[in-house]
Amino acid sequence: MMYNPAAPDGRNASLDSAVSPDGQPDAGTTYRVPPRCGVAVRVAAGRSIRVINTHGTQVCDFWAICDGAPHEFLSMAHCHTETGGIMPALGDVMVSNRRRPMLTITSDDSPGVHDRVIASCDWPRYQVLGCTEYHDNCADNFRMALMAIGEAAVHVPDPFNLWMNIPVSPQGRISWEAPVSSAGHSIVMRAETDIIAVMSACPQDLTPVNGDGLAPTELHFRIEG
């Protein structure tokens, strides 16, 4: 079957969770990302998005695409070069696949453990993990969140995995560990160009990335500035 980057392999409430029909938010309103689902929101240049780990254990797969130019997107590989490392830090300017500034990390009251290495979970990943029936996944949440505001995915980029704890050993090996964040921790990123931000409350419940209880939960966010 020919791969279509815009077509989800299944359906969930991401299709019904948009902040508005076109993704335009009300400034200062706190919005919810339901468990196991995704939400997209437009963020104008100069405004900031605050993503809140409501219960402390939830990973957020975060993407940004240039509003009106979906082939340009926040690129983790290019961020590694721009920031000189794989771990994000306060003040980092994160860039697109065209090396243009897209987001600046202006605040982070968590321990600062996030991931910029791991791809988003998708239906093939859950099949590798032994699932025989469809499992909610971040790649489909990305697609459906965009569909919900009238946009189509042209690619599923590698995400910025907020609060995801993926230690890298001295030998270069990785492991999947529980987050070290706490309830209410948040990260704030200022948009350096007009973007569509997409957030997925990761539905992973087969590894401890969403806590040792293996129980995905909700997230919240708001647009500030």
Q: Which domain holds residue 163?
A: 13-224
Would the pTM of this model clear 0.85, i.e. be above it?
yes
The beta strand positions in the chain, using DSSP E, are: 31-33, 38-43, 48-53, 60-66, 69-73, 93-95, 101-108, 160-162, 185-191, 195-201, 219-224
In a domain, 7, yes or no: no
d(CA 119, CA 144): 17
Residue range 18-44, pLDDT digits in tens: 999 999 999 889 999 999 999 999 999
d(CA 217, CA 225): 27
In this structure, how many other beta carbons lie within 10 angstroms of the beta carbon of residue 180?
14
In this structure, how many other beta carbons lie within 10 angstroms of the beta carbon of residue 183?
12
Confidence (pLDDT) at 28 = 86
Q: Per-residue pLDDT for 1 more than 90?
A: no
Nearest to 150 by CA among 221, 70, 82: 70
Averaged pLDDT for residues 113-123: 96
Q: Are 201 and 216 in contact (CB under 8 A)?
A: yes
In a domain, 38, yes or no: yes
In a domain, 143, yes or no: yes
Confidence (pLDDT) at 73 = 98
Confidence (pLDDT) at 27 = 82
Averaged pLDDT for residues 43-63: 98
Residue range 143-195, pLDDT digits in tens: 999 999 999 999 999 999 999 999 999 999 999 999 999 999 999 999 999 99
Confidence (pLDDT) at 2 = 81
**Number of domains making up the chain:** 1
